[in-house]
Amino acid sequence: MDGDNESSMLRNMLTAFAAFAGLAGWAGAAGAGLLSATGPVIAIIADDLFVGEAEGHLDGSGTFQIQSRTRPGLNCRGQFTHTAEFGNAGIMQCSDGSTGTFKFQRLTVLRGHGTGSVSRRSMSFTYGLSSIESAPYLKLPPGKALRLDGKDLLLVDSRRPIPANLPVAAPDGGNTRPQLF
């Protein structure tokens, strides 16, 4: 009976191993979408704002695509890796022929920031962060700020006053009325 128990246990272990190997093979080949996550990318390249999306996979690799907000025909695509061997780094190519390299630092598995250069022009970027959360990590051009216009992210002149609808006292000290400055 002991022989039967041992062979039964060995059979169960081999069956479990085969099932695990089959699932691992399936996940590697077809499970890229199942074992990946996407998130927003905000980048400043040579004083231009780019926005887009990155997709990261469980193995630490991923791809991204970003689009210039001021030059609609200009976009960049790239790939990155997060491994002990290669570190947190990536490469990219833009539609105008420029190429770049970058390094990044993870804040969490799905969020982080980085720097690099694109054809000798500086680049800073965030991924997985909102525009407000990105502010400390992005190197904005002097005199510029990020602003949301609805769902649209813009790079605007920070010295330009923001119109405000403020109450103004009537000359006789009576009722106030809203006035646009």
Task: Report pLDDT digits (tens) over 144-169.
Answer: 999 998 889 999 998 765 555 545 54
Q: What is the count of structural domains for the chain?
A: 2
Average pLDDT score, the chain = 79
Determine the pLDDT at residue 160.
63
Q: What is the pLDDT of residue 60?
A: 86
- Pair (26, 45) in one structural domain: no
pLDDT digits (tens, 9 = 90+) for 17-49: 333 333 333 333 344 467 899 999 999 999 999
Instruction: Clarify whether residues 65 and 82 are in a common domain.
Output: yes
51 within domain boundaries = yes
68 and 19 co-located in one domain:
no
Q: Does residue 178 form part of some domain?
A: no
- Measured distance CA(79)–CA(76) in Å, rounded: 10
- Inter-residue contact 91 to 62 (CB < 8 Å): no
- Predicted structure pTM score: 0.70
Q: What is the pLDDT of residues 57-101, one digit of tens each?
A: 988 899 999 999 999 899 999 999 988 777 899 999 999 999 999
- Tell me: do 64 and 15 sit in the same domain: no
**pLDDT score at 109:** 83
User: Residues 117-137: what's their mean pLDDT?
Assistant: 96
Q: Is 134 in the same domain as 56?
A: yes
Domain enclosing residue 6, as ranges: 1-30
Of all helices (H) and strands (E), which one includes residue 54?
strand 48-57
Residue 84 and residue 12 in one domain: no
Amino acid 125: pLDDT: 98
Alpha-carbon dihedral sign for residues 79, 94, 123, 72: negative
pLDDT exceeds 90 at position 52:
yes
In whole angstroms, give the CA distance from residue 95 to residue 114. Answer: 21
Pairwise CA distance, residues 180 & 178, whole Å: 7
Contact 127, 112 (CB under 8 A): yes
121 beta partners: 118
Q: Give the model's pLDDT for residue 19.
A: 35
9 and 70 share one domain: no
Q: Is 87 part of any domain?
A: yes
**Higher pLDDT, residue 81 or 13:** 81
Question: Quick check: is 171 in a domain?
Answer: no
| CA proximity to 79, closest of 54, 105, 59 | 54
Q: Let me know if residue 162 belongs to a domain.
A: no
Tokens 């061997």 label which residue?
A: 85
Same domain, yes or no, for 139 and 118? yes
Q: Verify that 116 and 70 share a domain, yes or no.
A: yes
Q: Is the residue at 176 inside a domain?
A: no
Q: What is the pLDDT of residues 129-146, one digit of tens each?
A: 999 999 999 999 999 999
- Decide if 181 is inside a domain: no
pLDDT above 80 (res 5): no
Q: How many CB atoms lie within 10 A of CB 50?
A: 26
Task: Tell me: pLDDT of 7 over 60.
Answer: no
Q: Is residue 163 in some structural domain?
A: no
Question: How far is Cα 125 from Cα 102, in angstroms, rounded to an integer?
Answer: 9
